[in-house]
Structure 1
Amino acid sequence: MKFKFGLSLIFVLIYNCCLAGLSPENGIANSNYQYSATVKKPTDSLEQLKKQIGGFAKKKDYQNAIVLSKKLLLKAKVLSDSSHITNAYWRLGYYYKILDQLDSAYFYFDKAYALNLKLKDSIGSGDRLLDMANIQKSLGDYNAGMVTATEGLQYLEGTNELVSVIGLYQNIAICQKELGHPKEALRWSDKIFSLLKKQPAADISNENLYNIKTTRANILAELKNYPTSFKILDSIAANTQGSNPWQFARAICNKGYYMWLENKDNAQSESLQLEALRIRQELNTAPGLISSTIHLAEYYFETNKPLALDYAQKALTNSKKTNNPVAILEALDLLLPLKKTLGQDVSEDAIFYSQVQNTLEKTKQAVRAIYAATKYDNDTLEKKNLMLLAQVAIKDKQKILAISAAIISLTLIVFVIFYKNQQKKKEQLEMAYKTELRLSKKLHDELGNDIFYLMTQVQKDPQEIVASEKVIILEGLNSIYQRIRDISKEYTAIDTGENFGKEFFSLLNSYSSTKTKLITKELPSNFWENVSEEAKIEVYRVLQELLVNMKKHSQATLVAITCTKNNKQVIIKYVDNGVGFNTTENYLGNGLKNVENRIKGIKGNIIFDSKPNEGVTATITFAI
């Protein structure tokens, strides 16, 4: 019984410790902060934790931020809340990175990346790869940094995540420069500026833009293009002087250093670097001080070795403060040969160099091991996602094919319309040609002989012409004049404006004679208002053709024409009591063919109803 009671007590204590915030990974208990155990909603508890983590982060208390982030991770796992799990992983990676515990930072960023892959969150996956690539770059593992950044572009390139894409381009550009490939580095820098031209840079902070421009200036200096590099650095200095001393100091420091590389005797180089150092000492920023002292150590390396050693020692001291192994090794690379030249003991520094080198290599190996251990699983997930992307691509392709088909169909429709219009123009030309032939034949057959006869009469001796012949000549001239008026009316332009109704009515009445009575009803003045000009012309010509045919062939004594209209169409009915024709035979001569073509041209219809000796009925309909 005592054993069971003791065991139960131990479990209760462990449970209470977990609730109090014990970190199983580092053993740090957050005993200074109390949390409410009576929370109604688990998600509220997670949100409260995030607020508390944010509070610690603002105070730069990253150790406690890490403790609470681990608690957030634990609770989110219990609740199977993927969103908060990835958030906790990201926070842990972020805070460990600030503390320069880069292997731990990389571990948690990789965890977040794997979960983003499972959740098919391509944006989150790309962002975490950017974080991982930046760690590899800061460790000096430039090849690995480029590979990871390039992998990140698979998820982000082509999206609206401008800041992240530029971050990946920037990472690759720096890695290429550090690996001794400045031309390739410039190509990636060009990509950044090309992207900034195409898309608005509203989300890019001024600080990031200065960093991007500084990197470009550094690359151009590597390529010995000092004038362009100086121009960029001068622009940054002009924009930051008095407002951003950190960026101003970096710009003049880099310019001074590159001026020295371009010309070892450049007097301005030393003053610019010393001015940058002075500003950085006032700001007390370790990374800036490291950069200045390294550059000055190199500047004085040949001309003033004791002063160069002093700057190298300061660079080492500041590098130790930031716990940056890459910066430490860079400082020692200057310090060791200077001490040796000046006859100073280098044993301790050499041992320290070896230790830092080993530590850095172990960190790189740890990061590579994390990468290798999870690469297979992540690649498998990525392949699944790529399959999904392929399916999406197929759907997109189908959409493109559908759009292409629509475009082709539209093109064909346009072509058909164009072709029909051309055919219509051709028909109109043919019709005009036939009209000319008809007019020519009319003038020759109907008027030519009569004119010739009158000419022979007129050519007689005036004394031989009797009174009766004079009357015949006058009547003949009058007949020719009347027929010329009819022909003129048949072929002259038609007024389709307000006077069309009167002209139309005048046309109908002009075919009424003593032999043929034409019955029609005068139409309202607004009858033709909604009818197009083209339709008016075609209707006019069609009725003109019917009446001409009637006069020539039908021997009709009575013709009736009625016009009616509703909201949708006009209906015109022609009826005569002439000789008619057989509609079962080929009854359409040139005249009636023209009639049918004209009505089809205005999308109308004409129906003939006739029998021999029973007259003709023609019904014309066309839409308004």
Structure 2
Amino acid sequence: MLLLLSCSEKESQSGITSKKRSNPFYEKAFVLMDNNQMDSAFFYLNKGKDLFLKRNDSFGVGKSYVNMAFIQESIGDNFGCIETSLIASQYFKEKDTAHHGFIFSNYNNLGIASSSLKNYKDAEQFYKKAKPFAKDPIDKMMLQNNLAILFHNQKKYDSAVFIYNKLINSVGPKSDYYPKLLLNYSRSRWFGDQNYNPVKNYITAEKLSQNIDDDWTKDAAYAYLSAYYLNKRPDSSKLYAKKMLTLAKKLKYPVDELEALQNLIKLSDGTEAQQYFDSYSKTQDSLINSQNKAKNQFALIRYESEKAKTENLLLQKEHARHEYQVKVQNLVIGLLVFVFIVIVIITYNWVKKRRERLVLEANNKLQEQRLDFSKRVHDVVANGIYEVMITIENQKDLPKEKILDKLELMYEKSRDLSYDSSSRQEFNEKILTLAGSFDNDNTRIIIIGNDPDFWESLAPSFREELFQVIRELLVNMKKHSFATQVILRFSRENDLFQIFYSDNGVGLSEDFVEKNGFRNMKTRLEDIGAKMKIEDSNIGLKVSINITKLESNKSN
């Protein structure tokens, strides 16, 4: 753990005023960020970005993307952060000084995310690109601190110490940033020279952080003290690890909780060590689940936003161009629009024909199965009955037990025949047939991930219950939602099976009361240990169903 000097995006932009109209979505996002509601803040930043697009405000679009990337980095979605930051860079003008604060923040964020992914070469390049745009003294100090952290992670401890020395001398001991810098300086120096004792500086920084009510710096001081004493004075190491764990819980920062628990596990024995290990496992699972949930939400928000994009992305171009160039540009745009429309029409017709072909193939296969089943019924049941009739007719004194034996044999054959018929159709085809019965010109059913592998690992009882739940969702959609598009997505990650349903219908009203349909679905899912969640949404209905393979195996 290295302590970052954090000048948040919200703070860095507070000195930049916009002459354009206010954007309520953009402004609401920062209220949510203050309340640590990052997923909701991301949603409103995305809506704010769309409003800036409609107003041809490319600067506003860039600001929105920068803050979205900041949120992604804060929850550990480093790949998503880099992707969003690279998009943001397209909307800034390096010659416009009003953009410099955000250009700096964007490059700095790219450096932090790259460093977290151990792409140290890329991180250093991004920090170098950020340097010309660091006009504010705090931004300059933050950039130097992040460079020092990069050098520390690369084990270039002398370079890191050199930067920290300069920063400490520049801010002085009365600065609020002094405890953070003193901690990082002392840690890098200790890593470079194991004979150096950083404890005095650690304790000084911890006391100073108490005076300025800086829990984050105090948390870092406890972490550094616990790490230093780990192999020297176990009792002291354990004391500081417990303090760190308590403070990390107060700060609601599970990453530091895990670091503190790691040390406590090493420093404890028997039952106590097992308790810490259980807490570690639970915290780690919770952190991974929350990060994955946030990543999925961010991806879904971006996906839905992409569908609503218009041709107003690159705006505020130079208007004083030659008349001939304008005509050529308009001609090119017209041709592109025409080609786009042609592609859309061709794609639509192809998808429609493919859907019709799939439905026809499914119906033909079903008809073949019915004919085959009819033939098998004739061969097994009809011929068997005839055989019994002939036997009774020809053998007048046939014992009752023999007749019952023959009838029982026929019963077993007919039951096997029935089971065999019901299992002949692949379950993914059964789902496809179900969806096809609801798919028409007014309502499109889009299915993603409905592969045989998804269903084969689930117990038959689970498959049937999930089939009934999906059918109930489609029936409710048909009766009540007036949706024109439904998405059914099936995904599997290790032993976690997920089914996502979403439509663009009227959704659930605020005074919604569960009726038989929803109660039946919940009851079915509870019987198999699955969990259903109705997502909050401004448009339509979104339902997620989670089930683990472990529960499915128990059913078997």
Within a 5 Å distance, the mapping from 1:475-514 to structure 2 comes to none
Aligned counterpart in structure 2 of residue 145 of structure 1, from 74, 81, 87? 81
Q: Is the alpha carbon distance of 1:318 and 1:168 closer, same or farther for their aligned partners in structure 2, counting shifts above 3 Å? A: same
Aligned to 2:155: 224
Aligned counterpart in structure 1 of residue 106 of structure 2, from 168, 172, 189? 168
Number of equivalenced pairs: 307
The one-character-per-residue Cα deviations of 1:269-314 (angstroms, maximum 9, x if unpaired) are 2322222122112223111111111122222222222211221211
CA distance in 2 between counterparts of 1:146 and 1:292 reads 30
Q: Is the alpha carbon distance of 1:236 and 1:156 closer, same or farther for their aligned partners in structure 2, counting shifts above 3 Å? A: same
Q: Is the alpha carbon distance of 1:376 and 1:138 closer, same or farther for their aligned partners in structure 2, counting shifts above 3 Å? A: closer
Matched, 1:134 2:70: yes
Does the 8 Å contact 2:70/2:81 carry over to 1? yes
Does the 8 Å contact 1:183/1:223 carry over to 2? no
Does the 8 Å contact 1:100/1:324 carry over to 2? no
> What amino acid is the match of 1:300?
Y
Aligned to 1:255: 185
CA distance in 2 between counterparts of 1:121 and 1:365 reads 32
Q: Is the alpha carbon distance of 1:173 and 1:260 closer, same or farther for their aligned partners in structure 2, counting shifts above 3 Å? A: same
Higher-RCO chain (CA-CA 8 Å, sequence separation at least 6): 2
Compute the displacement of 1:326 (Å).
Answer: 2.7
> What amino acid is the match of 1:177?
S
Does the 8 Å contact 1:123/1:155 carry over to 2? yes
Within a 5 Å distance, the mapping from 1:352-501 to structure 2 comes to 352-379=279-306, 384-386=311-313, 388=315
The one-character-per-residue Cα deviations of 1:473-517 (angstroms, maximum 9, x if unpaired) are xxxxxxxxxxxxxxxxxxxxxxxxxxxxxxxxxxxxxxxxxxxxx
Aligned to 1:319: 248
Does the 8 Å contact 2:66/2:85 carry over to 1? yes
> What amino acid is the match of 1:189?
Y
Aligned to 1:122: 58
TM-score when normalising by structure 2: 0.50
Does the 8 Å contact 1:253/1:272 carry over to 2? yes
Unmatched tracts of structure 1, length 5 or more: 1-56, 58-81, 400-624
Does the 8 Å contact 1:273/1:296 carry over to 2? yes
Does the 8 Å contact 1:103/1:366 carry over to 2? no
SS in structure 2 of the partner of residue 384 of structure 1:
coil
SS in structure 2 of the partner of residue 385 of structure 1:
coil
Does the 8 Å contact 1:336/1:349 carry over to 2? yes
Does the 8 Å contact 1:106/1:367 carry over to 2? no
Q: Is the alpha carbon distance of 1:382 and 1:388 closer, same or farther for their aligned partners in structure 2, counting shifts above 3 Å? A: farther
Aligned to 2:33: 97
Radius of gyration: which is bigger?
Answer: 1
Q: Is the alpha carbon distance of 1:379 and 1:120 closer, same or farther for their aligned partners in structure 2, counting shifts above 3 Å? A: farther
SS in structure 1 of the partner of residue 76 of structure 2:
coil
Compute the displacement of 1:164 (Å).
Answer: 0.8
Aligned CA RMSD, in angstroms, stands at: 3.1
> What amino acid is the match of 1:287?
W
Q: Is the alpha carbon distance of 1:320 and 1:397 closer, same or farther for their aligned partners in structure 2, counting shifts above 3 Å? A: farther
Identity of aligned residues (%): 23
Compute the displacement of 1:95 (Å).
Answer: 2.8
Aligned to 1:280: 209
TM-score when normalising by structure 1: 0.45
Compute the displacement of 1:315 (Å).
Answer: 1.4
CA distance in 1 between counterparts of 2:108 and 2:258 reads 24
The one-character-per-residue Cα deviations of 1:237-269 (angstroms, maximum 9, x if unpaired) are 11222441x3111111101101111122213x2
> What amino acid is the match of 2:158?
P
The one-character-per-residue Cα deviations of 1:368-417 (angstroms, maximum 9, x if unpaired) are 23332232454456562346578979879959xxxxxxxxxxxxxxxxxx
> What amino acid is the match of 1:353?
Y
Aligned to 1:238: 169
SS in structure 1 of the partner of residue 312 of structure 2:
helix
CA distance in 2 between counterparts of 1:208 and 1:126 reads 19
Q: Is the alpha carbon distance of 1:106 and 1:375 closer, same or farther for their aligned partners in structure 2, counting shifts above 3 Å? A: closer
CA distance in 1 between counterparts of 2:287 and 2:200 reads 35
CA distance in 2 between counterparts of 1:250 and 1:397 reads 60
> What amino acid is the match of 1:264?
Q
Does the 8 Å contact 2:46/2:64 carry over to 1? yes
Does the 8 Å contact 1:169/1:188 carry over to 2? yes
